[in-house]
Amino acid sequence: MTDENTQTPDRRAIGVFDSGVGGLTVLHECLVNLPHEDFIYLGDTGNFPYGPKSLAEVRRLAFAAAARLASEDVKLIVVACNSAAAAALPQLQSSFATPIVGVVMPGARAAVQATRERRVGLLATEATVRSNAYQNALHTLDAGLEVFAIAAPRLAPLIQGGDVFSEEIEGAAREAVAPLKAAGVDTVILGCTHYPLISPMLRRLLGPHVSLINSAEETAREVAEILARKEIDNDREREGRYRFLTTGDAEEFRDVGARFLQLPIREVEQT
Amino acid sequence: MTDENTQTPDRRAIGVFDSGVGGLTVLHECLVNLPHEDFIYLGDTGNFPYGPKSLAEVRRLAFAAAARLASEDVKLIVVACNSAAAAALPQLQSSFATPIVGVVMPGARAAVQATRERRVGLLATEATVRSNAYQNALHTLDAGLEVFAIAAPRLAPLIQGGDVFSEEIEGAAREAVAPLKAAGVDTVILGCTHYPLISPMLRRLLGPHVSLINSAEETAREVAEILARKEIDNDREREGRYRFLTTGDAEEFRDVGARFLQLPIREVEQT
């Protein structure tokens, strides 16, 4: 018998929250890479979007969301929302006993590992760019890095709107990518949970020699590592379940959410 | 100046054909990985589907499609259709001067490279499984391989129908995957161009320790290698264009096609 088999499986679920459906791209990566774990996703769609709210207000909402998940006895919480992570991650980590992971540091770490010329681009919403969360994380990991942060205010609303293969989105993506190409970056962070839905378009626009860092994918990898190191993973032979809580309309969550999750959405519970 | 810069760019397009929209997943991978090349895609939707037709009939249609692309002076032809590749690839290669690539061998090669236990699963339509094209290709590359071929007749029509994140598809996928799990394969080939649209679901059902081989991705890689070795690539600094020919209805092709291409579809010309 190996160590892995003798370890008692931790059957508690993993909690994931976001202000809306964007964080479902993070849940998607978790579900694909950790199919044996259970997940509870809380979409705070009743308070969507966090972006334009004050820092204090976002922090208050993030605390309420984390508390709601903690009340479900989760073993780990993922803040799958760039605004919430930027506004409240250290405070959440100080206040809760449950381990808490954000989306910013995993993406930043992967970018620092990937860049060859130490020229990294960031594509994100205006709020995320203004928060300097990625820029600070990148410089904490490599103080010599050059960071080119581009706010792409049109992209997330267009993606949320649904027509992700339209020429309008292609135009907006082309515009957002142009200054990054001009800056000669070799690595670009997708700093918004909506962007994985247009990653083929961005890859094509940036070219095959630019590494595209998907923060959702990197966050799932981080979650897997934490489970393994803390020895709190579930039994690998089982098939995990996943369910959804929303502070907004359950039907609307289901309709918009499937495109982001790319897997069936069954139970959605209003909370 | 490097060799790459002194080589004269070959400005001819690459031709891709399929009986319908499935081959657009192959074009998708080509567009993402070779953004500087031009492509012409021929969807023979007027004769869709090839599957139930006689071998002689599929061969005749494949010759007509290849001839149509050759008349556009393409530098390479990709047979992005498992039925056509299984029925006619050697005959096409013998008859045309243009280099011709199918989707079967690249997927088979990647599977042989990936498998650790030499137990490979194949998920495909009934026609592809019956043609033994993948089984023969796999055994040509490694005679000692065990191959478990599963026909999944429900999957492609459900994916074509559109509701790819439904519980119905999940049920069909679970059913198709069950015998592969029971056989203990460590590698599974997506042997139908429709399947990349549900690869997250298949990855989740198979688990992270099973390598999923996307034939579309492997074919794009093969195309890139051929261009490089034959020194017929286009100028790497340009942005390529792509256009579509269909033997069926142009509007319908555009509507269904975008989901498979995951990029904007502009010009569609009836041929």
Clarify whether B192 is annotated catalytic.
Answer: yes
Q: A-chain residues within 8 Å CB-CB of B200?
A: 28, 31-32, 262-263
Q: How many residues does chain A have?
A: 271
pLDDT in the model for residue A162: 84
Residue B2 banded pLDDT, cuts 50, 70, 90: very low
> Is the interface score ipTM higher than 0.85?
no
Per-residue DSSP letters for B10-51?
----EEEEESSSTTHHHHHHHHHH-TTS-EEEEE-GGG---T
Q: What is the mean pLDDT of each run of 10 residues along chain A (271 residues)?
A: 67 96 96 97 92 88 97 97 90 96 95 97 92 94 96 91 89 96 97 94 94 96 96 94 96 91 92 91
How far is the C-alpha of B132 from the C-alpha of B137, rounded, in Å? 8
The nearest alpha carbon in chain A to B170 belongs to A264
Query: Is B200 an interface residue toward A (CB < 8 Å)?
Result: yes
pLDDT in the model for residue B77: 98
What are phi and psi for residue A209, nearest 5 degrees? -95, 0
Residue A120 · residue A147 · CB < 8 Å: yes
How far is the C-alpha of B199 from the C-alpha of B195, rounded, in Å? 6
The nearest alpha carbon in chain A to B30 belongs to A204
Strand order in the sheet with A242-246: A100-102, A76-79, A14-18, A39-43, A242-246, A268-270
The nearest alpha carbon in chain B to A240 belongs to B204
Nearest to B201 among A204, A263, A265 (CB): A263
Residue B267 banded pLDDT, cuts 50, 70, 90: confident
The β-bridge relationship of strands B14-18 and B39-43 is parallel
The nearest alpha carbon in chain A to B166 belongs to A264
How far is the C-alpha of B52 from the C-alpha of B72, rounded, in Å? 29
Q: B-chain residues within 8 Å CB-CB of A264?
A: 165-167, 169-170
Nearest to B203 among A32, A36, A203 (CB): A32
Domains plus CATH for chain A?
Answer: 3-102+217-270 (3.40.50.1860), 105-215 (3.40.50.1860)
- Of B42, B82, B85, the residue nearest B65 (C-alpha): B42
Per-residue DSSP letters for B96-145?
-SS-EEESHHHHHHHHHHH-SSSEEEEEE-HHHHHHTHHHHHHHHH-TT-
pLDDT in the model for residue A267: 87
Q: What would the pLDDT profile of B85-138 be if each residue is shown by its tens digit?
A: 988 999 999 999 999 999 999 999 999 999 999 999 999 988 889 889 999 999
How far is the C-alpha of B83 from the C-alpha of B133, rounded, in Å? 9
Positive or negative, the CA dihedral B163, B168, B172, B175 is: positive
pLDDT in the model for residue B5: 55
Contact B200 A263 (CB under 8 A): yes
Q: B-chain residues within 8 Å CB-CB of A36?
A: 207
What are the beta bridge partners of residue B123? B150, B190
Nearest to B200 among A203, A205, A262 (CB): A262
Contact A200 B165 (CB under 8 A): no
Q: What share of chain A is helix, strand, coil (3-state, %, to 5)?
A: 50, 15, 35
Whole-prediction pTM? 0.89
Cis upstream peptide for A153 (omega within 30°):
no
Nearest to B264 among A28, A170, A259 (CB): A170
Who has greater pLDDT, A262 or B2?
Answer: A262
pLDDT in the model for residue B1: 42
Q: Does residue B177 come out as left (phi exceeding 0), alpha (psi in the -120 to 50 range) or beta?
A: alpha
Q: What residue ranges in chain A does DSSP mark as E strands?
A: 14-18, 39-43, 76-79, 100-102, 119-124, 146-151, 187-190, 211-214, 242-246, 268-270
Clarify whether B30 is annotated catalytic.
Answer: no
User: Catalytic one among B34, B76, B78, B81?
Assistant: B81
pLDDT in the model for residue B15: 98
